[in-house]
Amino acid sequence: MAFVRRRLEGDYEVDDYGFDRELTERFFMAALRPIAQKWFRLEVRGLENIPAEGGALVVSNHSGTVPLDGLMTMLTVHDHTGRFLRPLGADLVFRLPVVSSLARKGGATLACIEDAERMLSGGDLVGVWPEGFKGIGKPFSERYKLQRFGRGGFVSAALRTGVPIIPLSVVGAEEIYPLVGNVPSLARLLGVPYIPITPFFPWLGPLGLVPLPSKWILEFGEPIRTDSYDSAEAEDPMLVFNVTDQVRETIQHTLFDLLRERDGVFS
C-alpha cells in the first residue's frame, strides 16, 4: 500500500530519461518473471562477461515478430547481476502514446548516438538491437539469419566512450510468433513496419496473440574491448565497419552453435 500511496502522491523519482527504477523493479520485472521462468524457461550463459559496474554495450540479435526478446534480456540482466539494462529503442516506440510512456519508465530511450554516449559515459549498461524491425519482422523462413546491422552507430558510441561491447545471442525467440505473412498495404496505412500473419493470428483472434512456449537460451559472449582505440577513431568508417562486422559475425556463429546444440524448439 505504501508503494501505491507514493505513486498517487507523486512521491517517486525518475531520471533525465524518464526511467522509474522502483516501478520497473516492483511491477515490470515482477510481471515478466513468471513468463521468463515458466513459459520460456530461460537458460542463461556467459553472465561472467557482464561487468559488475561501469559502462558497457550489450548488442543482440532481434527476432520474434514482437520484441519480447528485449524485455527478456532486461529481466535476465537485472535478476542475475542486479543491474538495469537501458535499451535504445526505435523512433516508432516513442511515437506511440502508451507504449512510449511505459518504455521510458522502464529505462528505454531513443536510439541516438548522443543519448547512447551519455549513458555509457555515465556508467550505464546499455542494450541495442541493431537489426531493428528488419530483424523482428523477417519471415520465419529466414529465422536466425542476421539482417544488416545498420550503419554501426552503436560501435561509434562504444569507441568514443571506450566501453566494452558484449555480443548477446538469443535462441528461442524466433519461434514464439512464426511470421508467415504480412499485410503491407494496411501497415503503410497505419504507419507501422508490418502487420504480421502467423499460423494462429489473426485466425484465432486474441488467442493467437499468446506466444508459443519455445525454450530460450541467452548467451553473453566475451567482451570486445574498445579502450585501446583513441576516441577520434570513431570517425574512421573502415574501423567502425570492421568492429561492427566482428560483432555481427560473433553473434551469428554463436547462434549456429546453439542451434546445433539444442534438442528441439520446445525442449
- H-helix or E-strand containing 59? strand 56-60
CATH class, domain 2-176+213-261, is alpha beta
Q: What does each C-alpha distance from 36 to 33, 41, 135, 257 come to in angstroms? A: 5, 6, 21, 22
Confidence at residue 1, expressed as pLDDT on a 0 to 100 scale: 66
CB 251 within 8 A of CB 148: no
pLDDT of residue 127: 98
pLDDT at 9: 60
Question: What φ, ψ does residue 86 adopt, rounded to 5°?
Answer: -100, 105
CA neighbor of 157 nearest in space, from 81, 222, 107, 226:
226
Place of cell 516501478: 23
Name the pTM for this structure: 0.94
Cα separation of 130 and 168, whole Å?
Answer: 12
The answer to whether the beta carbons of residues 139 and 180 sit under 8 Å apart is yes
Nearest alpha carbon to residue 86 among 103, 67, 61: 103
Mean pLDDT per segment of 10 residues, for the chain of length 267 residues?
68 88 96 98 98 98 97 99 97 92 96 95 98 96 95 94 98 98 92 94 95 98 96 94 97 98 93
Q: Where in the chain are all domains bearing CATH 3.40.1130.10?
A: 2-176+213-261
Task: At 17, list the grid cell.
Answer: 530519461
CA distance 62 to 217: 13
